[in-house]
Chains A and B, each alone.
Chain A
Amino acid sequence: MRWSVDQVLAVAPDPPSIAAGRTQAAATRWTGLGASDAAVWGACGGSGKNPYLTCVQLAEPAFRCSCPSRKFPCKHALGLLLLWTEGAVPAGEEPEWVRGWLAERALRGRRGAERPEAPRDPEAAARRAEQRAERVAAGAAELREWLVDRVRGGLAGVDVEELYGVAARMVDAQAPGLAGGLRRAAGLIGRGRDWPGRLLTELALLHVLAEASTRLPTLPADLAATVRSRLGFPTDTADVLASGERVADEWLVAAVTDEVTERLTTRRTWLRGQATRRPALVLAFAPPGQPLPRTFPAGHTVRGELAFYPGAAPLRALVADVSEPVRSGRPAGDSVLAALHSFPEALAVDPWLERWPVVLADVAPVADGEGWALVDPEGAALPLAERVDPWPLLAVSAGAPVTVAGEWNAAGLRPLTCWDGDRVVRL
């Protein structure tokens, strides 16, 4: 049944989104519009070369759009729904990318429902694990075939819809890590000057991952653990707490950042051992709109033990046993060169590493072509990532050196915390 306008407005995150959504509710902006009992979809022309693919699953509801908006649902989804309320969306068959997404969601929903009642039956567990390994292997084989085929025909011909379709099949194959990589790849198409290079990087690393998945039994145990986690095999937190590597230290909470996607809010808390210099990543999850489990505030320290997940470059950890957080002053940080040197070591054992934590001491902002960079007293500089809003950090620094904690990767530095004297500022 079609929704009323009020129902549509009720799912909007804020009034500006409603206004923006109305601007998108013009049939001339859309192609491939369609609606079934389960979903409404369409492709909306944006500023980029490729149109954004927008789809709304009506039951929950759930939203997906290939646009980069952080608003959820985005203006395209709202515009699409408003058009639909006006009767301007024709009934139709779900195209492949919509069907794939719906199937993927159905599967996830079922798995979520199954989890609590899973009994501790080691034989059944082993059988399930074997079945899963077989499905992942089949998915990986399919992905490799597809990759070879696409490289032969040319990546210029790959479009977003096709990548989403393959991603949905990887979800069916219980390899969410492969699916996630394909969706990231879909987001790169047509974006920025060097998108072909970034697309090739993403797909080539997926290819290595798919290949590694076929060799799991022969890989060293640590590397196998890394590959398994990158493929998306779950790790039981109880096992991590029971047998994971324990490291005791005074841990600085260097940065905290939340990432909101349609199904999940993920909080990344980056810790840094003051004596061991070990970086650690603690993840916390919550459904959108729900509060996250208690986490530590940036700029504090906690004393005690973390338990690390297994892996070749163990980074992800669980909080095992730590004291209450205590406010700390400005931490000691590294030079740009020292921070850069720590990255390849980690990358060498985990080539799929997406982000690496850095704490930079005494870096000052400097204009760097179109963007901004942070330069240390030795004159070495790291660029800020393009998507970062540099102004809050620039305002705190006002030209003077500051200590900055953030995430580094090939796209640049994403500052998350800086210190204004001893005052911690979450950026």
Chain B
Amino acid sequence: MTAWEDLVSAALLGTQRRRPDPAGLPAALRPLVAEAPEEALLTAAAVLANYRRAGRAPARPDSRMPVAERDGRPLVPPAALRRLPRVPAELLGEWLQAVHAKDMRVPPERLPALAEAARTRPALRAPLAAVAGPAGSWLGERNPEWSFLVAAREEQAWEYGGPLQRREWLRRTLTADPVAARAALASAWPREPAGDRADFLAVLGEHLDPADEPFLEAALDDRAGQVRETAAELLARLPGSRLAGRMRERAARFVRHDGERWAVTLPDPVDADLLRDTGGVRHPAELLRRIIGATPLDHWARYGTPEQAIARPVIGSDPGTLRAGWVLAAGRQRDALWGAALLTAADPAAIDGTVIQMVRLLPARLHGPAVAVLAAKLSPQTMASAVALLPAPWTAELGTAVLDWLTAHPGNRGLGGAARAAGRTVPLSCLRHPIAMAALPVGAAPWWRELAATLTFRREMHEELS
């Protein structure tokens, strides 16, 4: 025990029970302790405490840290930096993407706070990692909670990167060198965990090619349900695939054209081949929806236009099941004609997220009319929920149509949710919409001012970074 520890334990226990040992003290202090023990202990402690503070030797660590590569990109301009603390969480991703697009970086001392934000909001991780650069990688290697900042070197990302980097690599390489990308995926495939396999398939889906069919067919027999389901989903988007052929046959068997009606037979949920092709659900109506959803839409062409097909009465099942299958197929096959017909025919009570997806299938010039179709069918409140479901990104036409629709209801206090969604989602070209630039109309609901403020905030945010 050192003299100091001896003093501390005597003080803690009390000198009644324990006296410090004078022998351990520096000679100059010994006489003190021999006499009035409490005062002496306190004096000796004061002296020793300051000996210890004053005599502190530096540590001699034997390890050093690696030094991050220099980041030559310019810092974001001061005005943008002053704005950063005020950027609301839901616009932070947009701010980071704008910084990255200008090939700038944020001052490194701001990175920890941004990394903390990205830790709880995964959507910020990729844009932050790009902006953070080598300093971010260095931090990510030191702090496991920020490992998403670690940028594996491009050529090594597939071998050594984290899931995020590997997906990025795959995405990049599928564009730049699709053959190499597919070869890398196929050779790594058997060793990958199920969750990663499903994610890689989803990335492949963004670059889907008819040549991917054999690979996807094989994935229909995967051990993991998630992988089988994703594979079935992707195959359903390949109209010329064997799966599409099998589905055509089934569609013809279960949905027959009977005079002016559709006569439907529900499929048998013990058909093993059917279950393999649909990802393994066992509910008859859901099986039918998936069959229709995976059947090429041209299968129905011989029975008339999409409008006629949709309008025809149905016997043998809920007509909604058939329609839901077409919605699924139109989405997968990016079929604008079917999309427009389904949107127009949709029952106001049945308009849900999947029907709203149809808007995106339409060519940009039809986005305005599509919003008009929706607005005519739906009450402003229901329309407001539909707007919140419109899949991003929005085209300029869609953004303008939604802002125009909002402009037509200045006093409606129930549109706050739609206005917030629109404020965040409209593309840059809409930021000077009259709703943001003109004076607040008399009697405008509070969301109007908030929307105008959001659009103005985003406009200034981008101007500062340009």
Contacts and interface: CB of A to CB of B under 8 A. Distances in A.
A208 B61 contact: no
A399 B138 contact: yes
Given A147-B42, A351-B46, A392-B109, A398 B139 contact: yes
B45 A201 contact: yes
A200 B58 contact: no
Given A381-B58, A398-B138, A399-B68, A207 B13 contact: no
A256 B53 CA distance: 24
B272 interface: no
Contacts, number: 160
A281 to B, nearest CB: 18
Contacts of A389: 112
Nearest to B57: A340
B52 A410 contact: yes
Interface stretch (B3-11, B26-34, B395-403): B3-11
Contacts of B142: 367, 394
A154 interface: yes
A203 to B, nearest CB: 7
Contacts of A205: 46, 49-50
A331 to B, nearest CB: 18
Interface stretch (B14-22, B247-255, B300-308): B14-22
B12 A156 contact: yes
Contacts of A425: 107, 109
Interface in A388-421: 389, 391-396, 398-400, 409-410, 420
A313 interface: no
Contact of A380 (B49, B54, B58, B112): B58
B66 A399 contact: yes
Contact of B42 (A153, A204, A391, A410): A204
Contacts of A204: 42-43, 45-46, 49
Interface in B44-79: 45-46, 49-50, 52-61, 63-68
Contact of A154 (B5, B16, B135, B143): B16
A197 B43 contact: no
Nearest to B132: A395
B6 to A, nearest CB: 11
Interface centre among B5, B14, B45, B46 (most CB of A within 10 A): B46
A340 B58 contact: yes
B11 A200 contact: yes
B38 interface: yes
B246 to A, nearest CB: 55
A232 interface: no
A336 interface: yes
Interface of B: 4-5, 7-9, 11-17, 38-39, 41-43, 45-46, 49-50, 52-61, 63-68, 107-112, 134-135, 138-139, 142-143
Given A151-B14, A337-B58, A367-B63, 16 more contacts: A148-B38, A200-B8, A200-B45, A201-B46, A373-B61, A381-B61, A382-B59, A391-B139, A395-B111, A395-B112, A395-B139, A396-B109, A398-B68, A398-B134, A399-B65, A400-B67
Interface of A: 144, 147-149, 151-157, 196-197, 200-201, 203-205, 207-208, 336-337, 340, 343-344, 347-348, 351, 364-368, 373, 375, 379-383, 389, 391-396, 398-400, 409-410, 420, 423, 425, 427
20 contacts: A147-B38, A148-B42, A151-B14, A151-B42, A152-B16, A155-B12, A157-B14, A196-B11, A197-B4, A197-B8, A200-B7, A200-B11, A208-B46, A348-B54, A367-B63, A368-B59, A375-B61, A380-B58, A398-B135, A425-B109
